[in-house]
Structure 1
Amino acid sequence: METRDLLSALSAWYADQCDGDWEHEFGVKIETLDNPGWLIQVDLPGTSKDGVTLAPDVEEGTDGSWLHRSADGRILRVACGPKDLERAVRATLDFLSP
């Protein structure tokens, strides 16, 4: 999936959650980390993944790339290296897909 398609898919998932209530309390955050890297956090309550957990999973590349993901049933967290944002969005969508 191309970058544009990944962003469209994430946007569509978010839009599908917005029901007049959910978006006032929950949402999706994408921010930078100081190590450096990126962090994507998705609130799961009220979605089809509410209560679904994901054991911490770590992928470390030899070229400095990395990806960490976990979900505690309330929040999905996907963190990655500074050049791995596309990979992190893909991992986020993989978890959120039915």
Structure 2
Amino acid sequence: MSATLIKRLQNWYASQCNEDWEHSYGVFICNIDNPGWSLKVELKDTYLYETKFEEIHIQRDDEDNWAVCKVEEGNFQGYGGPDNLEELLGIFLDWAEASENS
């Protein structure tokens, strides 16, 4: 059985904590007024900082079912509709885990 998205995020966060990173950087989940979600992961001083990420734009038939993910100014930025938070977390974690193992 695979780990839940929250457990995977906790594992990724814990693996970055080195008595320095966690004092300056972090992971932020906020709501936005579209309505929807914002996910920001600060990548500085992580193995992902220089890792290429192909920008993602998804718009499905339902206007509230969308996702946009990119790396900008050293941060992973994900935005999505009210039911797309899991998708944003999955996109980030799939990229992070694949990059760690390559």
- Following superposition, the deviation at residue 57 of structure 1 comes to 2.0
TM-score (normalised: structure 2) = 0.86
Q: How many correspondences in the alignment? A: 97
How do residues 1-80 of structure 1 correspond to structure 2 at under 5 angstroms? 5-64=4-63, 65-72=65-72, 74-80=74-80
> Is contact 1:53–1:70 with CA below 8 Å preserved after alignment?
no
1:54-79 Cα distance to aligned partner (Å, 9 max, x none): 34321001022000000036100011
- Give the aligned residue type for 2:14: A
Whose strand proportion is higher, 1 or 2? 1
- Structure 2 distance, partners of 1:43, 1:34, is 22
SS of 1:46's equivalent?
coil
> Is contact 1:29–1:42 with CA below 8 Å preserved after alignment?
yes
- Following superposition, the deviation at residue 96 of structure 1 comes to 1.2
> Is contact 1:51–1:73 with CA below 8 Å preserved after alignment?
no
CA RMSD between the two structures? 1.8
Gap runs ≥5 in structure 1:
none
Report the more deviating stretch, 51-60 or 30-39: 51-60
Runs of 4+ in 1 over 3 A off after TM superposition: none
Q: Identity, % of aligned pairs? A: 32
- Following superposition, the deviation at residue 39 of structure 1 comes to 0.6
Gap runs ≥5 in structure 2:
none
SS of 2:18's equivalent?
coil
TM-score (normalised: structure 1) = 0.89
- Following superposition, the deviation at residue 45 of structure 1 comes to 1.0
